[in-house]
Structure 1
Amino acid sequence: MELFFKYLQYEKRFSPHTIISYQTDLQQFKDYLQEVYEVEDIKAADHAIIRSWVVALVQKDLDSRTIHRKIASLRSYFRFLMRRGEVESNPTVRIKAPKLAKKLPSFIPEDAFTQVLDQGSFSEDFKGHREKLILELLYGTGMRLAELTNLKLTDINLSSSTLKVLGKGNKERILPLNPSLVNTLSGYIKERQATFPDNNSPFLFVTDKEAPLYPKYVYRVVKKYMSTVSTAQKNSPHVLRHSFATHLLNRGADLGAIKDLLGHASLAATQVYTHNSIEKLKAVFEKAHPKA
């Protein structure tokens, strides 16, 4: 399994977050094998055993997307074993995962974020500058949480109003910055230098203890401010990413351009946002058309 994780890291160039998910999924399957079948080696698992594991996951009322991911993790591992000649066949091939419920991305109304910036009680100290910049970067660029926490000072180019992010598969992309975001970034960097003059961390965001920012902190900041204007059950950093894409599309942005800004590998991943726009058109039609 350790060889498999190194393969994911160095050859497939998966993100640390994705690799942790694979590790968790395979360890859970291994634990299931030991507890239920008293089998130590995953390679000994056959189709019937794997199917019983999937049934057990369903009975635990796990989200169908989570079950899909766990099956995908196991399927990838067996493909890896086949390439190494460790097993003759992949027992996950005939495994059927539960149907995925169609789920549209959650997003906030266009004026909600402006309301947060205008009415948000951001303190004038380093913490206030940091919290405001976190929100503006997530919504103003559509970047992922991991991309935000891994931003370096050297990735920022205020003179050209751009920044560089390292996305999935270690793919770099350049993102434009609006004037408001440039001002917020500039103010934060000055405040950071004044607060921690001897800090040599390469990361843009640091905690009050001068350590790199961690994901849970970002979640807390987003929830703290967005819960005041949004009734969504999940006010997460990814909701701001969804909002960024949805609002661009609603205002006529090209789908291919949105794909590049989000760092999607294919247009199919970006097309999910068109459904939100269609739902908006339906609502307008039903409200305004005399035959609706």
Structure 2
Amino acid sequence: MTELINPEHLPLMRSIRSEVTGADNLMGASNDSEALTLFLNKSGSRSQETRRRYEREIIRFTAFIYQEQAIDYAAVRLKHLQTYLHFIQNLPPLWLEPGVLPGKPDKVLFKSSIKPGKSTDQVIDVLSAFFGFLERNRYTMGNPAASLVRSGEKTARGSKVIRYFHEPEWQHVRQCLGSMPCSTHKEIMESVRTNFMIRMTYALALRESELTGQTCDDIHPDNEGGYYLSVLGKGRKRRNLPVNPQLHETIKDYRSFYGYTGITGDALPLAPRRRKSAGVVSGLTSRGLRFWWQGFMQFCAEQTDDINLQYRLQEMPFHSLRHTALTHLARKMDIEDLAIFAGHDSINTTSQYYHVEARRLKALTMDHQL
């Protein structure tokens, strides 16, 4: 049997309950370390980014209950979770330094305290998913996280103004995209790579995991002389996105720099690393993609003297590209079509991109009065 235990969390699992009597849970886990590993392997089937996020949060939580509360997963109750939420919002200085995690002297668990609101709610979501998994597999009795109160921005779905590039900001980004330095071969390659990833993401409104998780092997011919990209999206749902003529040329130009012709037939990643590994172009991870994006946003910020614009650009996440694309498409697509294109389960999610209609409605109701 393949070894499942991840060395990252082995040092945490001391002998509070080293063996689960009879191991009669549906997982067959005999201790907390095995239970955690099985959960992470399940979450990793969705995406590697999901697994990393879940692992980070559960490792932090496990360190807290073992070191601060001296309990294991089976003993966790609602009061312990409430104490933990207060703890991460008011972290002792010791927990902001390396050495908290046994066996990992250089590991820093927290860079800063977790802010109340959306950030805390994301922690609650992970804890709820974890204890729900343990409960369903009879490793614990009940899910103590089910009663935690969320207080972040998503209390009413669709009510929050999404983060996207306003028109002047978007024009500035486009100008910067066309004015990247191209004096050396390295600069040319970086310009081609950046142009391709941004154009690909914007044209198809891709999530970061969708860009990093696909290759040119996922581009297929349709029955009408064109092509489509088959995307494995959120919730492992697949959708087929048409490649329009402009994007077709973008893909061809990108591939020509790597010595390929056409737009499909090989595993050239849609989010390539800057350097080859063993002569092969490998793909960026989601973390690497965000690091690259921050670099491009910093470049855009340096191209303007507007302090407010500089701040906005430095704060914009990669996901804002998808928001911008869907906002622009909302001007020409019906909401049902946009929901299919975006991969949304509900048009309630899609409706947030129609906030651009506010300007038109304002003009239409300007003279509406008694």
Tell me the TM-score normalised to structure 2 length. Answer: 0.66
More helix by share: 1
2:254 and 2:170 mapped to 1: Cα distance? 19
- Give per-residue Cα distances to partners, 1:209-261, cap 9 Å, x unaligned: 22323313541354146545893252222111001111111x24111211121
> Do the aligned partners of residues 225 and 185 (structure 1) sit closer, same or farther apart at CA in structure 2, a change above 3 Å counting?
farther
Flag structure 1 segments of 5+ consecutive residues without an equivalent.
195-199
CA distance in 2, matches of 1:193, 1:217: 26
Q: Distance in 1 between matches of 2:195 and 2:290?
A: 16
Change in 2 beyond 3 A, CA 1:114/1:181: farther
The equivalent residue for 2:179 is: 121
1:104 maps to 2:161: yes
Pair member with larger Rg: 2
Whether 1:54 and 2:81 are equivalent positions in the alignment is no
Helix, strand or coil for the counterpart of 2:148? coil
Q: Confirm or deny that 1:89 pairs with 2:142.
A: yes
Q: Which runs of 5+ in 2 are unaligned?
A: 1-35, 91-112, 261-265, 277-281
Q: Structure 1 residue aligned with 2:283, among 205, 212, 220?
A: 212
Say which is worse superposed, 180-189 or 49-58, in terms of deviation: 49-58
Q: Cα offset for 1:61?
A: 5.1
Q: Does 1:187 align with 2:253?
A: yes
Task: Give the structure 2 partner of residue 241 of structure 1.
Answer: 322
- CA drift of 1:105 comes to 0.8
- CA 1:31 to 1:281, structure 2 compared with 1: closer, same or farther past 3 Å? farther
Letter in 2 for 1:259: A
Match of 1:280 in 2: 359
Distance 1:78 1:169, change over 3 A: same
Residue by residue over 1:59-80, the C-alpha shift from the partner in whole angstroms, topping out at 9 and shown as x without a partner, is 4451512211211222222222
Partner of 1:197: none
Q: Distance in 2 between matches of 1:271 and 1:35?
A: 45
Higher relative contact order (CA 8 A, sep 6+): 1
Identity of aligned residues (%): 22
Q: 1:157 to 1:118 in 2, by over 3 A?
A: farther
Q: 1:187 to 1:25 in 2, by over 3 A?
A: same
**1:6 and 1:162 mapped to 2: Cα distance?**
31
The one-letter amino acid of 2:149's match is K
Give the 3 Å change call, closer, same or farther, for CA 134–289 of structure 1 in structure 2: farther
The answer to whether structure 1 residue 257 and structure 2 residue 337 are counterparts is yes
Residue type of the partner of 1:147?
A: E
| 1:178-203 residue CA offsets vs partner (Å, 9 max, x unmatched) | 33222211111111217xxxxx8542
Residues 339, 350 of structure 2: 8 Å contact kept: yes
Give the letter for the 2:193 counterpart.
R
Contact 1:75 1:92 in 2 (8 A): yes
